[in-house]
Structure 1
Amino acid sequence: MFSLTASDRFYLYPYPTDMRKSFYTLSGIVTNQMGMDVQDGDAFVFINKLCTAMKILHMEYGGLVIYHMKLSGGQFALPAIDFQEGKTVSHETLWSDLVLMVQGIDAQKTRYRKRWIPEKKNTV
């Protein structure tokens, strides 16, 4: 339980989400809007309109888990997302980018050093 790591895949839903939504409605967004399966074990990140609250939906051993963070001040700095004629339904992000968002660091203004990153596996 509580096992988000850099080896997980993270998908940011790029549209504002009502933070009153819970397991079933967030799972519905993953399935119907993002075209993905919540049971694949990936983590799905949702942000509210004001960028002051974040929920992460993740299937772990035994069931679904929601991590919820509500900022008492400030906003999350979202990564730059390239919207392609309304076709963008998710934005894959790295663990490091998620950590920067939670810590309040603007990822667009940081400079990344060269590192080896494992290739993405096709899950078809």
Structure 2
Amino acid sequence: MLSFNRRTKIFIFKEPTNMRESYDGLFNKAKTVLRKDPFSGHLFLFINKRSSSCKCLYYDGTGLVIIAKRLEEGLFSRINPRYKREIVLTQAEFSLFLKVQI
């Protein structure tokens, strides 16, 4: 069970991500591209090119956690990579994002 507090933000990495990347690769993208501290306790969301798979990187206070989901049907909502500002989801929006759209 994953639990967040009200201060937890969900940052979306807008560019398609290779789902073979693991802790170090996702950590590096959060730190260098998003310019956020991966140890902050915020969640970082990465989506593949086909929008059929996503990974989340989260620091729970003791170590990094990766949460992954691959859809068998449907796609995740598409993210516009040309949107200039950062995209931050609330916990409610994140829950809706993880739902499939058929």
Quote how far apart the aligned CAs of 1:4 are. 3.4
Matches of 2:81 and 2:88 in 1, distance apart? Answer: 10
1:103 corresponds to 2:96: no
Quote how far apart the aligned CAs of 1:103 are. 1.4
Please give the secondary structure, in 2, of the residue aligned with 1:51.
coil
1:73 corresponds to 2:69: no
Please give the secondary structure, in 1, of the residue aligned with 2:98.
helix
Quote how far apart the aligned CAs of 1:81 are. 6.8
For residue 89 of structure 2, what is the aligned residue in structure 1? 93
Q: How big is the alpha-carbon RMSD for the aligned residues of Structure 1 and Structure 2?
A: 2.1
1:3 corresponds to 2:2: yes
Please give the secondary structure, in 2, of the residue aligned with 1:25.
helix
Change (3 A) 1:5 1:80: farther
Matches of 1:68 and 1:6 in 2, distance apart? Answer: 21
Matches of 2:16 and 2:82 in 1, distance apart? Answer: 16
Matches of 1:4 and 1:70 in 2, distance apart? Answer: 21
Matches of 2:26 and 2:41 in 1, distance apart? Answer: 14
Change (3 A) 1:4 1:48: farther
User: Residue by residue, what CA displacement relative to the aligned partner does 1:39-77 show, whole Å, maximum 9, x if unpaired?
Assistant: 111000000000000101000021000000000111001
Paired residue total: 101
Which amino acid in 2 is paired with 1:5?
A: F
Change (3 A) 1:70 1:34: same
Structure 1's unaligned 5+ residue stretches are 106-124
Identity, in percent, stands at 23
Q: Is the 8 A contact 1:6 1:96 kept in 2?
A: no
Which amino acid in 1 is paired with 2:71?
A: L
